[in-house]
Amino acid sequence: MLEGIYRISGYDFRNYVLSSIRRRIWHRVQAERLTTITGLQEKIFHDTSCMERLIKDFSIQVTEMFRDPGFFISFRKNVIPLIKKSPLIKIWHAGCSTGEEVYSMAILLSEEGLYDKTRLYATDINENAIEMAKRGVYSLGKMKTYTSNYLNAGGRQSFSNYYTLRGENAVFDNVLRKNIVFAKHNLVSDSSFNEFNVIICRNVLIYFNKELENKVHGLFYNSLGPRGILALGKKETIKFTTYNDNYSKIDNEENIYQKMQKGANDEG
């Protein structure tokens, strides 16, 4: 099935963690009111809309603003001093989902006085998620959690200063979007498109097997400028990858690393 999806659609899920893929396939079997994987396979190969629904199931969309507040505290403390002198700061959010983390970073950079000289590149495999991210409109019911996260992440203002109310939604200010470039990008098959000071890819690599994880780390390494910063999720690590020796640790708990200069053999 995964081979067929790749040949027909170009989306390559063959090196995703099989247990995760299997759960989502069975979810789609039941959602389509089928009983077997064979039945689903037949349907997706003859029904484009079913294929699209399955691909959407494979692209995980779990996020929130200032998720894992400790990461943002560490970013303020450990990363900002390393990048603030750059004339232009380029940050890639790989696997940005519906954009909450990108807006969180825009707020943080604004409070640090760096947003005007920053370009945030927010990419995801899921086009629908990208469209939602571009709008910057989120349910008002989520704002209580997001406000708590913001304050726990070291926020310096009233969180409500960053959005306006529109019915049952919170609409984030245009000023936060002005330096964000949203685009579709597939980590499995697409190549590097810029040189970055920082790459943030949190809670994405956990869905890849080791072969694909190493391939994506190669993409990140080649996309980082000298002494560039790589930030991973809580359950992710550079350990046990072929790029382990190419980075020094900035924050071991929050999995933030710095690309080492060629020939360097120290830890910083």
Per the CB < 8 A criterion, the answer to whether 259 and 226 are in contact is yes
CB atoms within 10 A of CB 139: 10
Q: Over pLDDT 90: what percentage of the chain?
A: 81
State whether 150 and 122 are in the same domain: yes
State whether 10 and 100 are in the same domain: no
Residue 263 falls in which region: left (phi positive, over 0), alpha (psi -120 to 50) or beta: left
d(CA 97, CA 41): 26
pLDDT at position 12: 86
pLDDT at position 88: 98
Domain of 36 in residue numbering reads as 2-58
pLDDT at position 268: 39
pLDDT at position 58: 84
Longest dimension (CA), the chain: 59
**266: confidence class by pLDDT, cuts 50, 70, 90:** very low
d(CA 210, CA 216): 10
State whether 14 and 98 are in the same domain: no
pTM: 0.86
Q: What is the radius of gyration, based on Cα positions, of the chain?
A: 19
State whether 98 and 165 are in the same domain: yes
Q: Is residue 146 predicted with pLDDT exceeding 90? A: yes
**61: confidence class by pLDDT, cuts 50, 70, 90:** low
Q: Is residue 93 predicted with pLDDT exceeding 90? A: yes
State whether 146 and 87 are in the same domain: yes
Convert the pLDDT of each residue in 150-209 to its tens digit: 999 999 999 999 999 999 999 999 999 999 999 999 999 999 999 999 999 998 999 899
pLDDT at position 264: 46
